[in-house]
Amino acid sequence: MSFNALLIEKDDAGYRASVKALDDTQLPEGEVTVRVAYSTINYKDGLAITGKSPVVRKFPLVAGIDFAGTVEASTDPRFAPGQAVVLNGWGVGETHSGGLAQRARVKADWLLPLPAGLTPRQAMAIGTAGYTAMLCVMAIEKHGIAPGSGDILVTGANGGVGTVAITLLAKLGYRVVASTGRLQEADFLKSLGAVDVISRDELSAPGRPLGKERWAGAIDAVGSHTLANACAGTRYGGAVAACGLAQGMDFPGSVAPFILRGVTLYGIDSVMCPMPRRAEAWARLAKDLDLAKLDTLTHEIGLSEAIAAGSDILAGKVRGRLVVDVNR
């Protein structure tokens, strides 16, 4: 059976991404074959599609670290034909062909049943970016930071992680300070639940080892100086959940916030996150995310538009979440 897929190739002719027709013989090994309904474009997908970073480590490979769809065939008793499923990470779209395709075959251990109350489209409107945002929120909560503890900073506020994090935190009762390089989007961020919006310039340049105590916690999807300054501005006993590297992988900061204020820095990994925590995050998303607001920050594109979208997301031109209908 033939199907369309966004294929990444690298050979003597160079690195390239294109939509091609493949067949079932080109599907990788795995216990479960899925008819994909929707995928999405995350920042990592943008890196993979453009080749700006060595995300893809096996060629040729179908891109896409997420998908939602319906089981077509399974040799694992946990999944039956017709069952709705969702996948994030596990090296899919990096070392194992992924979800920017009409069909996928994966290990059963990587799949989750689609949570009740979510459609496949909504699951991909959430995607790895939104699921990562939920993991960050859970880290803040488990640290003991409650809605009354003080402000929560969200950096990269207009991106996928940022928009979902703001929406989640606001519904849970937290007071959110959003940091963005697109201040013209302030009204949009406030519509999601941000109370204050600040320029990323306040955080993106080299700063002092210890700054004024401004927030009880932070969710950072940016890294580099922004992460260092987020830590430097965190109150005594607070916590920062770090999950991204849009500004850089470096951490040009000081140990001062950690040893003088008892600040905790949590590293949030969504790719290999253990299944129990992953399932908890998705259950929480189905319960705690305002799905009406999710719809307002979601834009749908077809598979043929995904290549251009990969460049746009790296250039900071994408607001919120991109859902890919792989069947158009």
Give DSSP secondary structure letters for 117-179: T--HHHHHHHHHHHHHHHHHHHHHHHTT--GGG--EEESSTTSHHHHHHHHHHHHHT--EEEE
pTM of the complete model: 0.94
Sheet holding 61-62, edge to edge: 14-23, 2-11, 61-62
Residue 207 tokens read as: 């700063």
Domain boundaries, the chain: 2-114+297-325, 128-267
49: DSSP letter: H
Q: Are 125 and 321 in contact, with CB atoms under 8 Å apart? A: yes
Mean pLDDT, all residues of the chain:
96
Question: What DSSP string describes 246-285?
Answer: SSBS-----SHHHHHS--EEEE---SS--HHHHHHHHHHH
Residue 240 tokens read as: 């920062």
CA–CA distance, 263 with 301 (Å, rounded to integer): 41
DSSP bridge pairs for 61: 8
| pLDDT tens per residue across span 257-304 | 999 999 999 999 999 999 999 999 999 999 999 999 999 999 999 999
| pLDDT tens per residue across span 26-56 | 999 999 999 999 999 999 999 999 999 999 9
| pLDDT tens per residue across span 169-181 | 999 999 999 999 9
In degrees to the nearest 10, what's the CA dihedral of 55, 58, 64, 68?
-130
The pLDDT value given to residue 1: 83
In three-state secondary structure terms, 59 is coil
The pLDDT value given to residue 316: 87
Q: Are 195 and 176 in contact, with CB atoms under 8 Å apart? A: yes
- Give the H/E segment covering residue 242: strand 234-242
Taking residues 228-242, what's their average pLDDT? 98
In three-state secondary structure terms, 187 is helix
Taking residues 134-160, what's their average pLDDT? 97
Q: Are 246 and 161 in contact, with CB atoms under 8 Å apart? A: no
CATH class for the region spanning 128-267: alpha beta
CA–CA distance, 35 with 77 (Å, rounded to integer): 18
**More reliable by pLDDT, 109 or 319:** 109
Percentage above 90 pLDDT, the chain:
97
Pair type for strands 215-220 and 152-154: parallel
Residue 208 tokens read as: 């002092």
Residue 217 tokens read as: 């916690």
Hey, CA dihedral for 210, 211, 212, 216, is it positive or negative?
Answer: negative
Tell me which CATH code domain 2-114+297-325 carries. Answer: 3.90.180.10
